[in-house]
Structure 1
Amino acid sequence: MSDVYQAMRNEFSLEIPSNYNFAFDLVEKRAKDEPNKVAYIAVSRDGEQMEEHTYAKLNAKANRFANGLRSLGCKKGDFACVVIARIPAWYEVLVGAMKVGVVSMPGTNLLTAHDLEYRINRAGAKLAIVTAEHAEKIEEIKEKCPTLEHLIIIGEDRDGWVNFETLCSENSDELSRDDVEPTGADDMMLIYFTSGTTSMPKMVPRDYSYGLAHAITGKYWMDLQDGDVHWTLTDTGWAKAAWGMLFPPMLMGATIVLYDGDGRFDGDFHLKLIERLNVTSFCAPPTVYRVFAQMDLSPYNLGSLKHCIGAGEPLNPEVMRTWKQATGCDVYDGYGQTETVNIVANYKGMEIRPGSMGKPVPGLTVDVVDDDGHIVADDTVGHIAVKMTEQHPYGLFKGYFKDEAANAKCFSNGWYYTGDTATRDKDGYIWFVGRSDDVITSSGYRISPFEVESALIEHPAVAESAVVAKPDEMRGEIVKAYVTLAAGYEASDELEKEIQDFVKHLTAPYKYPREIEFRDALPKTISGKIRRVELRDEAKA
């Protein structure tokens, strides 16, 4: 087994051209070489409509949007806040923007007006490109966003907005690379927002080389082959969408499933869709596999599946056994961040050790180190880190946008510190321990306690709060808040629900505390800082 892994590392090769642009070098090239190859299958919410989108069709529509951007005066380096559901326009906007050099900032469809205002102003975004259900949020905050010049709406007409469909129809589906400003592999292509505990969401720039670096993700962990049908369950606003719905599947020649599902997960519907589309490659958060494991899987024909992967938190062995009995597939765990491509994984041909995220990917040196950058002994807790090398590590970002303090913290001693901790066993398998910055992972969402605390404190009843992760069998972790009340308020079930609803409306709903415990006082250090470690231990008890 170790020979298979070492052979993968020895045979690794990846060259990123200095002028690489995924939209031209992959999408447009394939549109010319294999115009009828299916890039993705768009599935309507009720499952009644299924439409194949070829590379020729995708490229033509992306060109129309790119030319539309040019007609609005948009240029390389402009920022665009993009909030689009799982519909074809998501691809057309992102690929079209890449061609022009406009930097897309994908956001989850759960963002509130408050969240959007922060992101637009933090980046100085020039455009907001959203589906109709988000237009009202943008209108609510646009007067507080002085850099916004263009509002583009998908799906309806609205006063003061440019209609996406009209804009595209009025522009040519031809675009020469010579007609746009060149983009280098090091130029910014995307920005994602991530979270921490000591600041609001940080901006993670992803350059054009990031697209091609995802060949590592697609080849090794995802094990994608030309002709596969791949389905990743994720919101379009997360970097996971770049992993599972864009770069790796397209690089490897797989067809992507684009299902416009709503927020309520229907296990039966998803399993039937795997059958109908003959899905061969499937990626879901552990929460979904746990739901499937509680169902009777015998009525479903899941024989098309060849490779299944999961990420976010370890899967318990019983769920893995149940899934394998039903499908014949193991679930291969993997690890990476918004700031990276896949960097640790389990691979075909290697022993899977349930609970382990696997071994470092070929092409990168990943290890467990101490605060000073020294590799720790086997079975010792340390930081998961990526070795900085003369060739900048493939797919690793260069640093947070306009945040030197955060950069100084994560790039140190010749390593990039991921902010997560782990142990490494004698055979090189890495075992996740926890998050250095206390980020909570619930149902695949990464949630910053700081963001939840910032929302809680705005409620008049909340004097002080501390937010921690509480283990949960179904979701992995849930958000638990410890709250002290302001004068004049008394703890009650009604007040708990009122505060929960308040947080749901102020920030993305998935971040609200599912449990609130009212306290007379919170534990603190001698300097007055809240001892969250004490509260975390209580929540785990």
Structure 2
Amino acid sequence: MAAYVLAHADRLAEKPALEIVGAETWSYGTLKARVMACAGGLLDLGLKPGDRVLFRLGNTAEFPVAYLACIWAGLVPVPASAALSVPEITEIARQTNPALVLQAPGISRPDHPAPSIKELPDGQPVPPEMGDPDRLAYIIFTSGTSGRPRGVCHAHRAIWARRMMWDGWYGLREDDRVMHAGAFNWTYTLGTGLMDPWSIGATSVIPNAASTELAQLLSDSRSSIFAAAPGIYRQLLKSPLPALPDLRHGLSAGERLSTTIRAAWQDRTGTEIFEALGMSECSTFISACPAAPALEGSSGRPQRGRRIAVIQDGVPVARGEPGQLAIHRDDPGLMLGYLNEPPPEGEWFITGDTVTLAEDGSITYLGRADDMMNAGGYRVSPLEVEAAFATVPGLQECAACVVEIKRDAHVIALFYVSDAPLPETQLQTHAERLLARFKQPRLYIHRTSLPKGGNGKLNRRLLRDTFEGPTQ
């Protein structure tokens, strides 16, 4: 995988591969040299192919270098958000049992016996560890319906499958300058903002983490493609936008893009936003693209080469009928399986997204079947949030769900039952100790009871609907 990503590095040795706006620029030659030296340094530490390396790194260029270096050396990187709390990252360490932790200052450390190093090692350059494309390349974590982080194991072949996005979503070219607004440690950034541009020989542009002038950086950097979660577009539209003469179009993923945001962006910039639908287990595989824009209300069509189905109760549904989106097991981008779980069985992998499939192949997203929440592009299990509040004195039961506080603005809310309203500062402090920032509720709402069905199951939809009411 790493050799594939850097296949153009020798030919484009002097071309900028990575620009961190306002900070530094790396050529393809520099990027490859640092990856090879870091790979050699990791092996000098005694690590062996197949060993796992847990990342506790910040939003710096060290992140993608370490990621590619691990894969180059045959190691298995486990990239994890710097925002995770100590209990959260300890659980991930327990599941992965890393041989090494890359530990940056100021970032939560797992309670695990694995040795850690503060700086990336530098050794003699080594050739890439080549092998079966079906072998394990990296592990990422997603929240599952069980309420705990769930490891998703991907093979080296997953990077090749991303070629289907080049035309099917990005309209990606070698002369592109792709700016991604996310942090390095977000899988959306790693794939769309770094690995894919480098795989085709384009330039990745990352805004300086300290900068708040994202729109101006987008203009100054002469970026031709801009990738972000819908919430970023919403924030940018709150202020006047500079001229963006180099921008061809935007990309959106992570959560549903509203028609109002898409229309407002097109009106203000004259460019389209192309949306994609996917998941950690298979990245994006449904999308709109410059050659085939999405019809009103739809998320696009299956990318060329993808084989999908819409299934309910184990059988395909008629066109236009709602069902569960599924992708065929033979898709090269589909995960190997979940960490420490039996390999999946059956012809189709059921995603948990409820959709309809139109006669023309357009997919319309209807929502998550398992009540998963979405916070700024991150999928968050309500069970995980609720479990974090189980030890709060006086709190009898609670339910987490996403609510709309104003038009196109959604936050995680915690509805809770107690004899009397609890101090909000107490709840906030508790959340800060146990949950990453993006998982922490923004609203705490006292209730005398929570709505439940006849079988005693919590009715999250009713809870959400009775809260929201009219929005602006």
CA distance 1:101–1:427, change in 2 (3 Å): same
From the two aligned structures, give the one with the greater helix fraction: 1
Tell me whether 1:450 sits opposite 2:450 in the alignment.
Answer: no
Measure the CA separation in 1 of the matches of 2:263 and 2:457.
44
Paired residue for 1:216? 164
Say whether 1:394 aligns with 2:342: no
Q: Is residue 2:117 matched to residue 1:152?
A: yes
CA offset digits 1:184-224 (Å, max 9, x no partner): 21111111100123230110011111112111123320111
The one-letter amino acid paired with 2:4 is D
Q: Distance in 2 between matches of 1:97 and 1:82?
A: 11
Question: Which residue, 510, 519, 522 being the options, matches 2:447?
Answer: 519
For the structure 1 residues 183 and 539, does the alpha-carbon distance in structure 2 shift closer, same or farther, using more than 3 Å as the test?
A: farther
Q: Please give the secondary structure, in 2, of the residue aligned with 1:333.
A: strand
Q: Secondary structure at the match of 1:423?
A: strand
* C-alpha contact (below 8 Å) 1:86/1:258 kept by paired residues: no
**Are the counterparts in 1 of residues 100 and 116 from structure 2 also a CA contact under 8 Å?**
yes
Q: Alpha carbons of 1:431 and 1:252: their partners in 2 closer, same or farther (altered >3 Å)?
A: same
Partner of 2:96: 123
CA gap 1:355/1:286 in 2 versus in 1, 3 angstroms: farther
Q: 1:476 to 1:381 in 2, by over 3 A?
A: farther
Mapped to 1, the partners of 2:167 and 2:10 lie a distance apart of 24
Question: How far apart are residue 337 of structure 1 and its match?
Answer: 0.9
The aligned amino acid for 1:294 is K
**Structure 2 unaligned blocks of 5 or more:** none
Equivalence for 1:26: 5
Residues 364, 394 of structure 1: 8 Å contact kept: no
CA distance in 1, matches of 2:93, 2:12: 38
The code of the aligned residue for 1:455 comes to A
The TM-score with structure 2 as length reference comes to 0.93
Secondary structure of the residue aligned to 2:83 is coil
Q: Does 1:114 align with 2:87?
A: yes
CA contact (8 A) 1:230 1:282 kept: yes
What's the secondary structure of 1:385's corresponding residue? Answer: strand
Contact 2:60 2:184 in 1 (8 A): no
Query: 1:21-57: per-residue Cα shift (whole Å, max 9, x none)?
Result: x222331x323232112211123xxx3x3x2211211
Is the contact between residue 76 and residue 139 of structure 2 (CA under 8 Å) also seen in structure 1? yes
Matched residue type, 2:174: D
Structure 1 counterpart of 2:316: 375
Secondary structure, aligned partner of 2:139: strand
Q: Given the alignment of the two structures, is residue 176 of structure 1 paired with residue 122 of structure 2, yes or no?
A: no
Task: Please state if 1:256 is matched with 2:229.
Answer: no
| Equivalent residue runs for 1:37-186 within 5 Å | 37-43=15-21, 47=22, 49=23, 51-134=24-107, 137-138=108-109, 141-142=110-111, 145-146=112-113, 148=114, 150-153=115-118, 163-164=119-120, 167-168=121-122, 171-172=123-124, 174-177=125-128, 180=129, 182-186=130-134
- Secondary structure in 1 matching 2:10: helix
| Pair 1:289–1:25, CA change in 2 (3 A) | closer
Structure 1 contact 23–96 (Cα < 8 Å) conserved: yes
- 1:441-480 equivalences under 5 Å are 441-473=374-406, 476-480=409-413
Change (3 A) 1:176 1:351: closer
Asked if the contact 2:416/2:445 (under 8 Å) is kept, the reply is yes
1:281-300 matches, cutoff 5 A: 281-297=225-241, 300=242
- Within a 5 Å distance, the mapping from 1:1-20 to structure 2 comes to none
Q: Equivalents in 1 of 2:443, 2:352: separation in Å?
A: 26
Q: Where does residue 347 of structure 1 map in the other structure?
A: 289
Shift of 1:233: 1.7
Deviates more, 1:461-470 or 1:95-104: 461-470
2:272 counterpart residue number? 330
Counterpart code for 2:25: E
Residues in 1 aligned to 2:407 and 2:439: alpha-carbon distance in whole angstroms: 16
Secondary structure (helix, strand or coil) at the match of 2:31 reads helix
Provide the residue aligned with 1:16 in structure 2.
none
Asked whether the equivalents of residues 443 and 475 of structure 1 are also in contact (C-alpha less than 8 Å), the reply is no
2:209 corresponds to which letter in structure 1? G
Percent identical across equivalent pairs? 26
CA contact (8 A) 1:70 1:100 kept: yes
Structure 1 letter corresponding to 2:245: G
* Runs of 5+ unmatched residues, structure 1: 1-21, 154-162
Residue 236 of structure 1 deviates from its aligned partner by: 2.5
The aligned counterpart of 1:18 is none
Question: Alignment partner for residue 309 of structure 1, among 237, 248, 251?
Answer: 251
1:319 aligned to 2:249? no
Within the candidate set 6, 9, 13, 1:35 is matched to: 13
1:502 aligns with 2:424: no
- For residue 462 of structure 1, give the secondary structure of its aligned residue in structure 2: coil
Shift in Å, 1:529: 4.0
The total of aligned residue pairs comes to: 469
Q: Aligned partners of 1:303, 1:25: CA distance in 2, in Å?
A: 32
